[in-house]
């Protein structure tokens, strides 16, 4: 390599690092200005930079694959309606259309042009979970998209720096917590504007007129690296079937992985048809979590951008539960979408078994509660509230390590501090602890789930929008490993509850969740006794389970 070429490579690497710092600052600005705890504390968001062709160039580390990989497909829809050459500084564009972006109405996407030297040079986008979007709320009970909340078409949020007040008024009129929703939407604008200023300063520092050269370089490098990793895999075709709880009957997901040279396709032919309940998945979201699962095993070191995503092709039959069409309901689409990496791993475990983890709890156990704030004391109920906090089960055991306990894989959202959740809502989280013996036995043990107990601060009744998985069908072990523990949903008074659907708890009762554990990998008889002893000492496995599962007597 010549000195000139080396200098160019070094310069590009420095610029790439700066771009990552810019989008990470974009995400952190969003978290520090957002009103809702889902964004502010859990990081249920994505933040990214796109070129003028709508190609993902750089994404923030903070965020979820469901958001950013969906947004990677969605920005082109903004450009189709609002071409870059018609944009002005201070313009901002918005939608929550599930079929164009992140799969349900609760994810709001805002895209903003970035200007330098008087011309648009790129686009910054954020996609964030909005707790309240009106309608029934985030649960699986809706029979159509029209029941699930307010739909925002592709439209302007701001024009040349002036906020679309009519849209803000419509939003506030349709939600239960207007101040939070308005504050969140304005925080999206703030984060994109902060990132735009940073990008312009960087371009000036490096004397670059625009992003085109560096974007082409980053995407080409990532595309080449990804294809090289795929080419290392054996050619062939493998099929995996995963049966999950569903709403009121099991749902079967069937995936077929085909590898030929440096091309890879995941097809979901044979998957069950869509349901008249809000657990359906749009193709955009299906693609997001499928590709994430593939990249976790095949090309984890390649930065996530258009080039890294392009070689992975995902198809699903129209009208299936993974490619639902308008106006079918989709509010709790994560219940199925977050199970897709396990389908992917089922295929990859046949092709490259030494690199694939066992199944995990996978689906995030989001606890969304609804009730009334304490009244004024004259017999009238207070204002209604919606509260949500995230809980995770155990991930599946990995080829060289145990599964992670209480970890949000594949969603990647953070656990919100109990104190933050309780200060924002009239609830008390009485218990939140790891669930002993919930990890599936194996040479590598599955991660532990959790036990969570929550109720109203004043003991009054409340509603829960249940959307939980792995209750009837736990995570399956691999290569001789045993299953993880199934989940359970009940009340503190001992009454069993349904795992999905809006349900009411009476005064004096609490919601109790036993969150599933991850499955084990490999024969439990081959587990290192020292590791079993450690698990017993740390309370992760009871002495009785250590004896029965591993024959441990020490």
- Residue 552 has a pLDDT of 84
Q: Are strands 92-95 and 56-59 parallel, antiparallel or unpaired?
A: unpaired
Q: Alpha-carbon distance 271 to 275, whole Å? A: 12
pLDDT confidence of residue 303: 95
Q: What confidence score (pLDDT) does residue 6 get?
A: 56
pTM exceeding 0.75 = yes
What is the structure's pLDDT at 4? 54
What is the average pLDDT across 323-341? 97
pLDDT digits (tens, 9 = 90+) for 483-519: 999 999 999 999 999 999 999 999 999 999 999 999 9
Q: Which two tokens stand for residue 143?
A: 């029979």
H helix runs in 469-508, sequence order? none
| C-alpha closest to that of 240 among 355, 340, 362 | 340
Phi then psi dihedrals of residue 378, to 5 deg: -100, 20
């520090």: which residue's tokens?
32
> Would you say residue 376 has pLDDT above 70?
no
Structure tokens at 312: 């992975």
Chain centroid, CA 8 distance in Å: 36
Q: What is the mean pLDDT of the chain?
A: 95
- Please compute the mean of the pLDDT values over residues 158-184 and round it to a whole number: 96
Q: What percent of the chain has pLDDT over 70?
A: 97
Task: Tell me the helices (H) and strands (E) count for the chain, helix number first.
Answer: 13, 19
- pLDDT for 180 equals 93
Written as one string, the DSSP assignment of 28-62 is HHHHHH-SSHHHHTT--EEEEEE-TT--EEEE-SS
CATH 3.30.450 domain position(s) in the chain: 3-222
User: Which phi and psi angles does 123 have, rounded to 5°?
Assistant: -135, 135
For residues 125-143, average pLDDT = 93
pLDDT recorded at residue 3: 54
Tens of pLDDT along 301-327?
999 999 999 999 999 999 999 999 999
Task: Give the SS3 label for residue 478.
Answer: strand
C-alpha span between 36 and 107 (Å, rounded) = 13
Residues in a beta bridge with 298: none
Percentage of the chain lying above the pLDDT 90 cut: 91
- The rounded distance, in Å, linking the Cα atoms of 316 and 319 is 9
- From residue 110, alpha-carbon distances to 57, 152, 189, 428 in Å are 17, 11, 7, 34
Residue 151 pLDDT class (50, 70, 90 cuts):
very high
Sorted by sequence, the CB contacts under 8 Å of residue 169 that are 6+ apart come out as none
Task: Rounding to the nearest 10 degrees, give the CA dihedral for residues 288, 293, 297, 298.
Answer: -40
| Residue position matching structure tokens 């979970």 | 129
pLDDT digits (tens, 9 = 90+) for 426-455: 999 999 999 999 999 999 999 999 999 999
pLDDT for res 379: 52
Indicate the CATH number of 3-222 among 3.30.450, 3.30.70, 3.40.50, 2.60.120: 3.30.450
Beta carbons within 8 Å of 378's beta carbon, 6+ residues apart: none
Q: What is the pLDDT at residue 123?
A: 98
Whether the pLDDT of residue 380 is over 90: the answer is no
**pLDDT tens profile 237-284:** 999 999 999 999 999 999 999 999 999 999 999 999 999 999 999 999
**C-beta neighbour count of 213 within 10 angstroms:** 12
CA-based torsion, 518, 522, 524, 527: positive or negative: negative
Can you say how many angstroms the Cα of residue 456 is from the centroid of all Cα atoms in its chain?
28
Residue carrying the six token digits 């709890």: 361
Question: What is the edge-to-edge ordering of all strands in the sheet holding 365-372?
Answer: 384-391, 365-372, 462-467, 500-505
Which helix H or strand E contains 252, and what residues bound it? strand 251-260
Q: What is the pLDDT of residues 82-114, one digit of tens each?
A: 999 999 999 999 999 999 999 999 999 999 999
- Chain length of the chain: 554
- Please compute the mean of the pLDDT values over residues 143-159 and round it to a whole number: 97
Q: Residue 86 in contact with residue 149, Cβ under 8 Å? A: no
CB distance 309 to 291 below 8 Å: yes
Distance CA 268, CA 256 (A): 6
- List beta partners, residue 503: 464
How far apart are the C-alpha atoms of 41 and 421, rounded to whole Å? 9
The two tokens of residue 477 are: 């072990």
Is 38's pLDDT higher than 60? yes
pLDDT per position as a tens digit, 459-485: 999 999 999 999 999 999 999 999 999
Half-sphere exposure of residue 6: CA atoms within 13 angstroms, side-chain side: 3
- Sign of the C-alpha dihedral computed for residues 22, 23, 28 and 30 taken in this order: positive
pLDDT digits (tens, 9 = 90+) for 180-203: 999 999 999 999 999 999 999 999
């Amino acid at each position: 390599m010549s000195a000139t070429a080396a200098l160019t490579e070094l310069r590009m690497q420095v610029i790439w690092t700066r771009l990552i710092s810019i989008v990470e600052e974009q995400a952190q600005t969003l978290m520090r200005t957002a009103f809702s705890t889902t964004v502010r504390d859990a990081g249920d968001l994505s933040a990214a930079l796109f070129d003028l062709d709508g190609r993902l160039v750089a994404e923030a580390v903070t965020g979820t694959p469901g958001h950013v990989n969906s947004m990677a497909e969605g920005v082109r829809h903004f450009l189709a309606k609002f071409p870059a050459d018609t944009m002005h500084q201070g313009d901002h564009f918005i939608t929550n259309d599930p079929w164009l972006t992140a799969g349900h109405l609760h994810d709001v996407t805002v895209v903003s042009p970035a200007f330098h030297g008087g011309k648009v040079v790129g686009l910054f986008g954020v996609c964030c979970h909005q707790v309240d979007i009106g309608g029934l709320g985030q649960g699986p009970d809706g029979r159509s998209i029209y029941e699930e909340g307010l739909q925002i078409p592709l439209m302007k949020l701001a024009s040349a720096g002036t906020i679309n007040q009519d849209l803000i008024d419509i939003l506030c009129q349709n939600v239960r917590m207007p101040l939070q929703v308005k504050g969140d939407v304005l925080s999206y604008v703030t984060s994109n504007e902060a990132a735009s200023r940073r990008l312009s300063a960087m371009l000036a520092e490096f004397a670059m007129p625009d992003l085109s050269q560096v974007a082409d370089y980053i995407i080409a490098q990532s595309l080449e690296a990804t294809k090289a990793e795929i080419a290392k895999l054996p050619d062939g075709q493998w099929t995996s079937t995963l049966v999950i709880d569903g709403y009121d009957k099991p749902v079967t997901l069937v995936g077929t992985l085909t590898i030929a040279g440096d091309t890879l396709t995941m097809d979901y032919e044979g998957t069950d048809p869509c349901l008249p309940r809000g657990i359906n998945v749009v193709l955009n979201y299906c693609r997001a979590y499928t590709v994430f699962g593939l990249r976790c095993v095949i090309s984890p070191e390649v930065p996530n951008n258009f080039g890294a995503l392009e070689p992975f092709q995902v198809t699903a039959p129209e009208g299936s539960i993974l490619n639902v069409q308008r106006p079918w309901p989709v509010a709790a689409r994560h219940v199925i979408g977050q199970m897709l990496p396990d389908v992917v791993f089922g295929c990859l475990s046949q092709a490259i078994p030494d690199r694939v983890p066992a199944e995990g709890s996978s689906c995030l156990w989001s606890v969304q509660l609804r009730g009334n704030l304490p009244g004024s004391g004259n017999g009238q109920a207070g204002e209604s509230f919606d509260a949500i906090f995230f809980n995770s089960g155990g991930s599946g055991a990995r080829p060289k390590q145990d599964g992670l306990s209480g970890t949000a894989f594949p969603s990647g959202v953070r656990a919100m501090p109990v104190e933050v959740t309780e200060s924002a809502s009239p609830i008390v989280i009485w218990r939140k602890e790891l669930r002993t013996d919930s990890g599936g036995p194996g040479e590598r043990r599955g991660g532990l789930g959790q036990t969570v107990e929550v109720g109203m601060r004043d003991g009054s009744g409340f509603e829960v929008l249940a959307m939980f998985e792995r209750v009837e069908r736990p995570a399956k072990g691999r290569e001789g490993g045993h299953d993880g523990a199934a989940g359970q949903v009940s009340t503190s008074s001992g009454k069993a509850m349904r795992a999905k659907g809006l349900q009411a708890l009476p005064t004096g009762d609490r919601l109790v969740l036993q969150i599933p554990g991850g499955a084990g990998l490999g024969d439990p008889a081959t587990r290192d006794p020292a590791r079993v002893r450690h698990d017993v000492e740390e309370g992760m496995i009871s002495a009785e389970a250590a004896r029965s599962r591993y024959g441990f007597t020490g």
